Amino acid sequence: MSVVEIKDKKFVPYITESRINTAVTEIAEKINTELKDKFPLFLVVLNGSFIFAADLLRKVNIPCHLSFIKVASYHGVSSSGSVTELIGLTEDVKGRVVVIVEDIVDTGTTLEKLYHVLEQKEVKELKIATLLLKPEAYQKEMKVDYAGIEIPNDFVVGYGLDYDGLGRNLKEIYVLAK
């Protein structure tokens, strides 16, 4: 791994392919044990989670469904000021055990919106799986059930995560150079 330049910024090596692989395996093993008879539905939040989800789901060996979604927010039309819509959710989630698959949880704002929308659809149980978690930035109450690697409050790219649309295809994770 060496320094990569993306647009105006330099990123330095941070998490190796092998460390990522270990974290993904650990999450999969926990899921295989804990959700064994629960026939979970994995909801993969695009775009950033696509690589993590592809690796994770190949290590999950229990019967499950999988779907890809996007979260869109609209402002100004409701009393709360913002409406969250899930794009691409075609499955009936009522009564299902749903696992939200995220690439990274930072403040938790995105996750919270998603969580509320799914709660209203009467899911039976909601679980959260994320490859990366920034505990210092996280401001919400929701339990993150499966967190692969905890990182400080720094900006990272690679393994699905982008900087201005670029860098998603990097095999390892890089951090913005200080």
Q: Which residues are catalytic?
A: 106
Find the angle CA(119)-CA(135)-CA(161) to the nearest 5 degrees: 80
| Residue labelled with tokens 């709660």 | 119
**Angle ∠(131,136,137) on CA atoms, nearest 5:** 75
Can you give the length of the chain in residues?
Answer: 178
Alpha-carbon distance 99 to 106, whole Å? Answer: 18
Q: Which is nearer to ligand 5GP, 97 or 111 (CB)?
A: 111
Q: Nearest approach, Cβ of 62 to ligand 5GP (angstroms)?
A: 26
The Cα 17–Cα 173 span in angstroms is: 8
With tokens 């979260």, the residue in question is 71
Binding site for ligand 5GP (CB under 6 A): 48, 102-111, 155-157, 161-163
Among left, alpha and beta (phi > 0; psi -120 to 50; other), residue 81 is: left
Query: 1 or 175: whose CB is closer to ligand 5GP?
Result: 175
- Comparing CB distances to ligand 5GP, the nearer of 67 and 110 is 110
Please say which residue, 94 or 178, places its beta carbon nearer to ligand 5GP.
178
